[in-house]
Structure 1
Amino acid sequence: MKFAYRFSNLLGAVYRQGNLNFSKDGNAVISPVGNRISIFDLKNNTSETLPVSTTKNIRCVGLSPDGNLAIVVDEDGAALLVSLITRAVLHHFHFHKPVNSICFSPDGRKFVVTKENVALMYHAPGKQREFNAFVLDKSYYGPYDETTCIDWTDDSKCFVVGSKDMSTWVFGAERWANLIYYSLGGHKDVIVGCFFEKDSLDLYTVSQDGTLCVWESDTELDGLVLKKSQNKPKSLRQEEEEDEEEEERMEGQEGEVIRGKAEAPKEKKTKNVRYKQRSKHFFNKEGDFNNLTAAAYHKSTHILVTGFASGIFHLHELPEFNLIHSLSISDQRITSVAINSSGDWIGFGCSGMGQLLVWEWQSESYVFKQQGHFNNMASLAYSPDGQYIVTGGDDGKVKVWNTNSGLCFVTFTEHTSSITNVTFTSSGFVVVSASLDGTLRAFDLHRYRNFRTFTSPRPAQFSSLAVDVSGELVSAGAQDSFEIFLWSMQTGRLLEVLGGHEGPVSCLCFSPVQSILASTSWDRTVRLWDMLNSWQVKETLPLTSDGLYVTYRPDGQELAVGTLNGEISFWNPNTATQTGSVAGRHDLEMGRKETDKITAKQSAKGKSFTSLCYSADGESILAGGQSKFVCIYNVKEQMLMKKFEISCNLSFDAMEEFLDRRKMTEFGSLALVDEGAGDGDGVNISLPGVRRGDLSSRHFKPEIRVSSLRFSPTGRSWAATTTEGLLVYSLDGSLVFDPYDLDLDVTPGSIRKQLRLQEWASAIVLAFRLNEKALKQEVLETVPHEQIPVVCGSLPDIYVEKLLGFVATCLEKSSHLQFYMTWAQNLLMLHGQKLKNRSGAILPTLQALQKSIQRHFDNLSKLCDFNMYNIRYTVALSKQRGIKRAAEEDKEGEEDEEDEEDLSDEMSEASLEDAEMLL
């Protein structure tokens, strides 16, 4: 289907809150980002966001020991059981209260969840499909305040729970006779982490005030004795588990075996487990603000990692408490710490700045270092080949993202205020950004530097930006002086100041085919400026409301304008006549904010589209604004084709249409009640007129909106900068059946029959009529490479474009590089003139082909350079060794000559002595 776009990836945000996890092999970090889960592959340097989402921000994630399952719990306690293999949701569950932590047992058969002051132990979901995947086994009470952390012993017999009441509780996972529960004190602040030693009941506890207590147990794990069981009716599952436990115990223990149903020997009185404090250590802290906020322990290497509120982390070796390493990685508090299975890599999450870092402590280097935009994203732009996306944010940073890996590879921080607009030049190697700091800056993607800075004679805040097709003219509109400025990219000089608008200039756009600049303003006009004829106004288009956005169709023959009354109007720029309009206010469906005094329906009357973008073929237009919906309209029919809900996260404001009565108290809405939390959270009342940034409210609850939209030049995907991050939606062709000119005799059997008869062209035509990706690839790769020119020459014109698009798609991921390049070369060489006549329609296909070839070129050029330098090094090394060997041989030769001379001298002396004796 043409509009079967699905959520593909989330860029621009790498971590928000919650706990980090490493995968089983230790090569990937699993990070919660808002209400989604992102997996960062550290070996291949790629990121993937799972297509599952919770209703609110994720609070904690529990990973099964085999790495196949994850339990994701949001702020309300709603849980999802997710398969990390199929990326599907297997089960929904609700814990009814906020969950603080979740942890699987090492054997994978149980997991413990802590909420409020209770620890709940559940049976882990099995491999068989069950009606209820989560079965409660036991509830553990003991702490007087909220529980904070969990850890298990290596054999899954006991677990420990830390609490805010400064106590630590050790619980038995089974009914042990000598350990039911055990409480440990010794701290003066909230317990941040509690960890068992490897194959032992010995404990380490860490509290928020920077204190470490080492606890020693007088009993080994083997010394735990099962309690006498009561004669209670048991379920079949419990009996099976007990039988399995007995068998495991019989296999693992020698000598006396204590069964689950047997009574402990009476002559041996069981001694209760006792703990004693072996030692107490204190971390070096600077000031009261530097609380210990996160901790992790690696049992095999005995390494304790602790993170602090000042952004510093320490590595200590236990139990001696030797400091190995200390480093400051951020100026914000470290929220989460995780260590991978081998103990080499340490992951840190800082929710204040949205940072995710992976540190290799032995080599003291970063394995992974990513940070999203600190505040909202304001704008985005695709590179001409669709390989990169540039984004600008309210934090004044310009970031460039790779669409294949999903990671940011360069950040420019030269701006000192919010970025309002960013764009690529036509070459794809220069990024231009406009900012409220009164400057435009051009960045070079070869050397990663700011090589041009454009300023105006009088200070102005630039709210709009456009670069012409040649990349020579740069224009920007000011929101305070109502003027448009024009600079030369080559010289950096100001060429002209265009006056005429009577309100702030909201958007600029150059025509893709002519030297004409379109500008729209709050003065209810669109002006077309002729760049060749003394920068005069060519046309003035009257609007019914304030102009917010203007964009050209890719062929330059149509203009779309978004206005404040929620309409999108279409104009012919050549005749200055309006060709149509779309009333999109009802499609926005804005939600009601918690502090609003009016209903969502009334609120929607003041909403409008703030960003528009034509599709690559120009037949449809993408529109988004102050809403959670993105709409695709058909331009010709002027009707809504599809609507995308970009987020279902209720942690954002303006998501629900009606107010929840449960949030209404006798004092008014809960949003207006000061809860007095200790982390700096306050009353959620925004200052009047302020829409963004931390200063807008004391407790920042972001409002859902779409600030910018762009279609990829290849037409296969589109991206949107939202409150949630940079969302990428793409066409998932493998799951969509979209046949073309289908007939009864077009079947996979008939296509394979044509292949057996070696009717290659006929087989390709039939495969494209059925339009199934796997079948098309099978047919294409069956054709012998020497037959490719003949087949390309005999194809009908309508299938040439389809085949070229399919080759571009396959070339992106296939390893058969030369084979598909041969197809592309022959199609372009044999049908070049016909394709040139339809250049506008086939442009997205050519750009997709260029993107695929450029990606392979980048990868192979690095590999070739690496191999070339290696070969040079090897040759130089062999030459050096050859010279050294020759020198050694010469030296040996000289030594041999000297030895021969000495020998001849000795022989001559001996002969003289013999002659004298004879005489």
Structure 2
Amino acid sequence: MNYRFQNLLGAPYRGGEAVIHNNTLLITPISNRVSVTNLLSSQTRTLPFQSSSPIVHLAVSPNSPFLFAVDSNHRSFLIHIPSSSLLHRLSLTHPVSSARFSPDGKLIAVAAGKFIQIWRVPGFKREFFAFELVRTIAGFAGDVTVLDWSPDSVYVVGGSKDLSARLFCIKRLKGRLNQPYLFVGHRERVVGCFFGVDKRSGRVNRVYTIARDGYLFSFGYKGYEKRDDDGEGDGEDAMEPGTPERDDEKGDVDQNLRKRKHVDAKDDGDSNAVEEEEYLHKGNWELLRKDGFMQSGARVSSCDYHRVLDMLVVGFTNGVFGLYQMPDFVCIHLLSISKEKITTARFNELGNWLVLGSAKLGQLLVWEWKSESYILKQQGHYFDVNSLAYSPDSQLLATGADDNKVKVKSGPCPRDFALSRFSEHTNAVTALHFMTNNNCLLSASLDGTVRAWDLLRYRNFRTFTTPSSRQFVSLTADQSGEIICAGTLDSFEIFVWSMKTGRLLDILSGHEGPVHGLMFSPTNAILASSSWDKSVRLWDVFEAKGTVETFTHTHDVLTVVYRPDGKQLASSTLDGLIHFWDPIDGVLMYTIEGRRDIAGGRLATDRRSAANSSSGKCFTTLCYSADGSYILAGGSSKYICLYDVAEQVLLRRFQTTLNTSLDGVLDFLNSKNMTDAGPLDLIDDDDSDKEEGITHQVYGDLGQNLPGALQNRGRPIIRTKSLKIAPTGRSFAAATTEGVLIYSIDDSFIFDPTDLDIDVTPEAVDAALTEGDTRKALILSLRLNDDSSIKRCVFSVKPSDIPSLAPLIPFKYLQRLIEAFADLLESCPHLEFMLRWCQEICKAHGHSIQQNSRNLLPALKSLQKSITRMHQDLADTCASNEYTLRYLCTAGSGMAAKQAVTTSEAPL
């Protein structure tokens, strides 16, 4: 029962900043989670923490593995990337538009409303309030949109909606020297501002500001000149010369300058460097040039600057991005990736890769501009995932969605990179089914076709159709793979085809409602179907006898599944009940009432709490475990329920999301958010989402203009459309509104406190290995449950010692050891050594394994899968070698015969 969240697949990019850490890790926001993609190994993992609203801003520390994430409700999180652990939380009082770590990694600047807040970055130690507010910078007339740090972490430049940018020194200086420098001239709000550095001296010499209208201003620094009127100005801050306050202030500043010059003179002998850096914002700046990007009708939506390469990347609302060499403004590349707005454009640390994302398309690209090639081109299912299917060996996971596409991913816990993508369907894909040979996948669609896909050649080799167009919503095949059946939504019929010929064999009629559930019995050729006509029917397809048995229900039947042994049938109805039938005797065995268990949150339009709502309290998808003792159930709710079939009790509930921006997550109605016009969340009085595409465009514009519908900003309703448990039993997949959630019991390090003492340590394992006591070392590593130590101890055993060591292993550690064997068979080349281990374990513990096969079944299936896969690889290699030897022998005999004939014909 120890399933835990492992990964999130199929969720498209919906906006927010994307960053690259250590030049290899691409970090992107995925709804209210954060996804980390290794660009070298092409693996994706989703961090286990969740926010209560979508993540929109990310910042990575340059010299430490810290990630600063901010959601749309201006709550921020500090995350340790290697351990995927959440260290600290921080709630800000204003909406956040940008966040950046300082180059030294000690501070972080946050653009919150009309202020820039400077926070000290906390460490690993536990503190009551870890974040320390160093300074709050004010002075903007509009909300701050962007900001940037100087290389020495002393200055911050911020752009605002007031059409200007300001340069601040984060250190507190006295008098007018602490006032910011103002960069003006733009006609629209500033969307980018960056510090430019002189490559020879390494000092700041330029400031670039970019406005939304597509103009770039370059300001040059001319140095600091101490003037007598430094303290003069208009307003209350201006003081006349000779006043005590001004003299004291001037004396303090001069004393500060003398101290700074004295310190720097010892360091590098240059006393003017500190003066120029310390009072950079009071120097002489001038506008050097104005440049336009010349994108007619398009505006700048994102930009980034690489200080070392002195290069600028700019993304536009028309899908075009440009790469420019500064300060001469030379265009290197000007390309179009789509027709939709580019919501993020970032450099990596080396500057050779560009991260480009489009929230409207759900697309994320990593492009190497020197070689003009893609490092990553990722696009999830744009609409909801409807169906899932595991291959019989658990090595492939197929997903079908409303975007008419079928994607196949690899592994029982896939890493979100599709092996293949099929897009021949012209309407939503509603059902998937793997054939028993693992090389064929079936898909049903609302376009009226059932297609068969060859996973070796990646092509559609057969299409099953009907005489008149139908909409298919369910799909199955018998164990032999000869018969294909699909249920319809509109004609209430079941169509039967031959897999070999593709011909339509039969049409099963009798249902009076849509056939949403189909499944063949695992042990015979009996087909079970469920319909909204409140019945489950059993059909004998091969004998053509029609309906064999009919199970009548009191409410609409939503789905039906067989237990893996074929001796039990489970069906769910609209009233929230799960019925368990004996398909042989045709009697109802028992019933589980799950209305209270599946009851989820309330909708935004509901006038009552979730407990008093009657909608959505039913199961729409069911799935048995590998041994048939448990059943997973999901529906229009944020919960997935796990039941014990024999005891009819709820064992565990999995909450799929905490994202309150989805409908059906909140349980109670907050009267503070109610107005005369309806719920406050549904009143859209802000058009900034059309301009920026960040805050409110997380899920697109679905449902915005439906006639007669309440304008709810297109908020999707959380639901689970499909559930599938891997045949190994080690993981299960759930197709939800946010994507495909993978829950697994692998990689879980759970310790038994009663089996640990002060002597069970990694050092004790090393000491036992040094002494040659491999039995003690193996037992200690199993008690520690450390994967690397277990594998190291397994390989330290001599092959001749395996028969004597296998009977000495306690049975309670057997499952963990078998899991290690299954993992090692996937990667290590020592096949004979591992098979010797498996053979001796079966000899020594065969009786115990047989008696406890129910508990060991997932581990044994994983081991069987690894051995079968290795056997197939060896069989292919041996067959290839056999054919090669036959060819060589045939060719050799032919050459010998030819030489003999030549010799006999030669003249004596």
TM-score in terms of structure 2 length: 0.83
**Match in the other structure for 1:180:** 179
Deviation at 1:861, TM superposition (A): 12
1:293 aligns with 2:301: yes
**Match in the other structure for 2:60:** 63
Kindly provide the amino acid, as one letter, of the partner of residue 193 in structure 1.
Answer: G
1:74 aligns with 2:84: no
The separation in 2 between residues aligned to 1:652 and 1:547, in whole angstroms, is 27
The separation in 2 between residues aligned to 1:38 and 1:606, in whole angstroms, is 30
| C-alpha distance 574-758 of structure 1, shift in aligned 2 (>3 A) | farther
**Match in the other structure for 1:204:** 208
Deviation at 1:305, TM superposition (A): 0.8
Deviation at 1:162, TM superposition (A): 1.1
Question: Is the 1:386–1:712 contact (alpha carbons within 8 Å) kept by the matching residues of 2?
Answer: yes
**Match in the other structure for 1:900:** none
The separation in 1 between residues aligned to 2:504 and 2:260, in whole angstroms, is 81
SS at match of 1:703: coil
SS at match of 2:360: coil
The separation in 1 between residues aligned to 2:381 and 2:38, in whole angstroms, is 21
1:581 aligns with 2:591: yes
Deviation at 1:567, TM superposition (A): 0.7
Compute the RMSD of aligned alpha carbons.
Answer: 4.1
Kindly provide the amino acid, as one letter, of the partner of residue 300 in structure 1.
Answer: V
Kindly provide the amino acid, as one letter, of the partner of residue 185 in structure 2.
Answer: G
Q: 1:358 aligns with which of 366, 369, 372?
A: 366
**Match in the other structure for 1:315:** 323
Matches within 5 A, 1:174-253: 174-175=171-172, 178=177, 180-198=179-197, 199-219=203-223, 249=264, 252-253=267-268
Question: Is the 2:12–2:381 contact (alpha carbons within 8 Å) kept by the matching residues of 1?
Answer: no
Deviation at 1:345, TM superposition (A): 0.5
The separation in 2 between residues aligned to 1:575 and 1:768, in whole angstroms, is 47
**Match in the other structure for 2:11:** 13
| C-alpha distance 817-355 of structure 1, shift in aligned 2 (>3 A) | farther
| C-alpha distance 128-642 of structure 1, shift in aligned 2 (>3 A) | closer
Post-superposition CA distance 1:691-735 (Å, at most 9, x none): 999998762111111111111111111111111111111115643
Matches within 5 A, 1:655-734: 655-680=665-690, 699-732=713-746, 734=748
Post-superposition CA distance 1:153-194 (Å, at most 9, x none): 111121111112221111112245756301212222221211
Unaligned runs of 5+ in 2: 198-202, 232-244, 250-256, 697-701, 879-908
1:410 aligns with 2:420: yes
SS at match of 1:787: helix
**Match in the other structure for 1:494:** 504
Question: Is the 1:148–1:163 contact (alpha carbons within 8 Å) kept by the matching residues of 2?
Answer: yes
Kindly provide the amino acid, as one letter, of the partner of residue 374 in structure 2.
Answer: Y
Deviation at 1:680, TM superposition (A): 4.6
Deviation at 1:811, TM superposition (A): 3.8
Deviation at 1:57, TM superposition (A): 0.6
Deviation at 1:848, TM superposition (A): 1.5
**Match in the other structure for 2:335:** 327
Kindly provide the amino acid, as one letter, of the partner of residue 305 in structure 2.
Answer: Y
% identical equivalent positions = 40
Post-superposition CA distance 1:842-862 (Å, at most 9, x none): 764454235546788999999
- How many residue pairs match? The answer is 835
The separation in 1 between residues aligned to 2:547 and 2:224, in whole angstroms, is 88
| C-alpha distance 153-522 of structure 1, shift in aligned 2 (>3 A) | same
Post-superposition CA distance 1:616-664 (Å, at most 9, x none): 1211111111111111100000000111111111111111111223322
1:151 aligns with 2:129: no
1:737 aligns with 2:755: no
The separation in 1 between residues aligned to 2:735 and 2:225, in whole angstroms, is 54
1:376 aligns with 2:384: yes
Question: Is the 2:87–2:124 contact (alpha carbons within 8 Å) kept by the matching residues of 1?
Answer: no
1:163 aligns with 2:160: yes
Deviation at 1:86, TM superposition (A): 2.4
Question: Is the 2:596–2:617 contact (alpha carbons within 8 Å) kept by the matching residues of 1?
Answer: no
The separation in 1 between residues aligned to 2:388 and 2:662, in whole angstroms, is 22
Kindly provide the amino acid, as one letter, of the partner of residue 311 in structure 1.
Answer: G
Q: 2:109 aligns with which of 108, 112, 115?
A: 112
The separation in 1 between residues aligned to 2:479 and 2:300, in whole angstroms, is 54
The separation in 2 between residues aligned to 1:425 and 1:229, in whole angstroms, is 87
**Match in the other structure for 1:912:** none
Post-superposition CA distance 1:755-795 (Å, at most 9, x none): 99999889979987997767755653442123335656898
Question: Is the 1:713–1:848 contact (alpha carbons within 8 Å) kept by the matching residues of 2?
Answer: no
**Match in the other structure for 1:349:** 357
Post-superposition CA distance 1:273-327 (Å, at most 9, x none): 13221111111324x2x22211111111122111112221111111211111122
Matches within 5 A, 1:859-874: none
Deviation at 1:54, TM superposition (A): 1.2
The separation in 2 between residues aligned to 1:361 and 1:195, in whole angstroms, is 21
| C-alpha distance 553-594 of structure 1, shift in aligned 2 (>3 A) | same
Deviation at 1:534, TM superposition (A): 1.6
Kindly provide the amino acid, as one letter, of the partner of residue 387 in structure 2.
Answer: S
**Match in the other structure for 2:85:** 88
Question: Is the 1:506–1:549 contact (alpha carbons within 8 Å) kept by the matching residues of 2?
Answer: yes
Matches within 5 A, 1:20-31: 20-23=18-21, 25-31=22-28
SS at match of 2:611: helix
| C-alpha distance 196-768 of structure 1, shift in aligned 2 (>3 A) | closer
The separation in 2 between residues aligned to 1:675 and 1:277, in whole angstroms, is 38
| C-alpha distance 104-221 of structure 1, shift in aligned 2 (>3 A) | farther
The separation in 2 between residues aligned to 1:774 and 1:422, in whole angstroms, is 38
The separation in 2 between residues aligned to 1:245 and 1:585, in whole angstroms, is 72
SS at match of 1:410: strand
Question: Is the 2:472–2:489 contact (alpha carbons within 8 Å) kept by the matching residues of 1?
Answer: yes
Kindly provide the amino acid, as one letter, of the partner of residue 200 in structure 1.
Answer: V
Post-superposition CA distance 1:244-283 (Å, at most 9, x none): 99998566442549999xxx9xxxx999313221111111
TM-score in terms of structure 1 length: 0.82
Post-superposition CA distance 1:325-344 (Å, at most 9, x none): 12222232111111111111
Matches within 5 A, 1:118-133: 118-126=115-123, 129-133=126-130
Post-superposition CA distance 1:728-758 (Å, at most 9, x none): 1111564323699x899x9899999999999
Deviation at 1:219, TM superposition (A): 2.2
1:530 aligns with 2:545: no
Q: 2:288 aligns with which of 255, 278, 288?
A: 278
SS at match of 1:306: strand
The separation in 2 between residues aligned to 1:463 and 1:753, in whole angstroms, is 61
Kindly provide the amino acid, as one letter, of the partner of residue 342 in structure 2.
Answer: I
**Match in the other structure for 1:539:** 549
Kindly provide the amino acid, as one letter, of the partner of residue 737 in structure 2.
Answer: T
The separation in 2 between residues aligned to 1:838 and 1:193, in whole angstroms, is 64
Which deviates more from structure 2 when the two are superposed, residues 652-661 or residues 559-568? 652-661
Kindly provide the amino acid, as one letter, of the partner of residue 565 in structure 1.
Answer: D
The separation in 1 between residues aligned to 2:263 and 2:703, in whole angstroms, is 62
Question: Is the 1:588–1:604 contact (alpha carbons within 8 Å) kept by the matching residues of 2?
Answer: no
The separation in 1 between residues aligned to 2:194 and 2:836, in whole angstroms, is 60
**Match in the other structure for 1:49:** 46
The separation in 2 between residues aligned to 1:380 and 1:814, in whole angstroms, is 31
| C-alpha distance 209-765 of structure 1, shift in aligned 2 (>3 A) | closer
| C-alpha distance 761-125 of structure 1, shift in aligned 2 (>3 A) | closer
Q: Name the larger-Rg structure.
A: 1
1:507 aligns with 2:506: no
Kindly provide the amino acid, as one letter, of the partner of residue 380 in structure 1.
Answer: L
**Match in the other structure for 1:393:** 401
The separation in 1 between residues aligned to 2:226 and 2:370, in whole angstroms, is 35
The separation in 1 between residues aligned to 2:110 and 2:592, in whole angstroms, is 51
Post-superposition CA distance 1:844-901 (Å, at most 9, x none): 445423554678899999999xxxxxxxxxxxxxxxxxxxxxxxxxxxxxxxxxxxxx
| C-alpha distance 754-81 of structure 1, shift in aligned 2 (>3 A) | closer
Kindly provide the amino acid, as one letter, of the partner of residue 88 in structure 1.
Answer: S
The separation in 1 between residues aligned to 2:274 and 2:53, in whole angstroms, is 46
**Match in the other structure for 1:520:** 530
Kindly provide the amino acid, as one letter, of the partner of residue 218 in structure 1.
Answer: K
SS at match of 2:641: strand
Unaligned runs of 5+ in 1: 233-241, 685-689, 865-919
The separation in 2 between residues aligned to 1:753 and 1:119, in whole angstroms, is 55
